[in-house]
């Protein structure tokens, strides 16, 4: 699989089918990206489990922190890695000791570890790297368009404003890419500079 780009149907299938997500590196600090992603996904009806050994004894949105994946008391569908790329391999190894195995390993924006990816895929897990499920969910549901962001979905209807625990449809028609003429020109200028350096 090409992990530089993902087909929308691949991402859509994952987000439609997972229910329980263990977010490794979740933070109770309300200005951290992991806090926003955790809160957003919990509000969309996912069963979120915060994993952070430094926060055990605390709660995040009423969910108690656990120290490790091994401390989770129920099956999980997806491990969302909100740590650096070097931490991904040991976390995937930990995930592969769980019974039953999770279905998905998801590495957040900026997190890519090809060795961890290969190990997870060899065990039959789906892998997403360098993406945020919060952003992908918002894009595929067109909810993100409420904030003026190009969601690359085609519809004359706006996404509904979600209520607490509401799962939005991710089955809106989307187009690949999402580039613009300005983005294409900027990429070309960058390539030209790199080639002339």
pLDDT grade, residue 180 (50/70/90)? Answer: very low
Whether pLDDT at 47 is above 70 = yes
**More confident site: 174 or 15:** 15
Whether pLDDT at 192 is above 60 = yes
Whether pLDDT at 116 is above 70 = yes
Domain boundaries, the chain: 8-196
Task: Look at residue 164 in the predicted model and tell me its pLDDT.
Answer: 57
Question: Whole-angstrom distance between the N-terminal and C-terminal Cα of the chain?
Answer: 32
Angle at 16 between CA 11 and CA 22, to 5 degrees: 85
For 26, how many CA atoms within 13 A lie in the half-sphere containing its CB?
A: 32
| pLDDT mean over 58-81 | 97
pTM of the model: 0.76
User: Is residue 128 within a helix (H) or strand (E), and if so which, with residue range?
Assistant: strand 126-128
**Long-range contacts formed by 52-55: CB under 8 A, 24+ apart:** 52/24, 52/25, 52/26, 52/27, 55/26, 55/27, 55/28
CATH number of 8-196: 3.40.50.720
**More confident site: 32 or 172:** 32
128: which 2 tokens?
């997403």
The rounded percent of the chain whose pLDDT value lies above 90 is 69
């Amino acid at each position: 699989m090409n992990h530089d780009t993902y087909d929308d149907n691949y991402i859509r299938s994952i987000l439609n089918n997972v229910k329980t997500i263990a977010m490794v590196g979740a933070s109770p600090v309300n200005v951290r990206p992991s806090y926003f992603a955790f809160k957003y996904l919990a509000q969309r009806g996912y069963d979120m489990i915060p994993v952070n050994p430094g926060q055990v004894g605390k709660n995040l949105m009423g969910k108690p922190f656990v120290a490790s994946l091994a401390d989770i008391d129920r099956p999980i569908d997806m491990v969302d890695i909100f740590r650096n790329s070097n931490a991904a391999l040991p976390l995937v190894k930990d995930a592969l000791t769980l019974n039953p195995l999770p279905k998905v390993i998801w590495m957040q924006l900026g997190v890519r570890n090809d060795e961890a990816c290969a190990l997870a895929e060899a065990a039959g897990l789906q892998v997403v790297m360098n993406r945020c499920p919060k952003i992908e969910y918002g894009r595929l549901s067109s909810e993100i368009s409420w904030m003026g962001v190009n969601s690359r979905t085609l519809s004359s209807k706006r996404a509904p404003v979600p209520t607490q625990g509401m799962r939005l449809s991710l089955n809106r028609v989307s187009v690949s890419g999402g580039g613009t003429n300005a983005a294409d020109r900027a990429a070309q200028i960058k390539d030209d500079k790199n080639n002339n350096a």
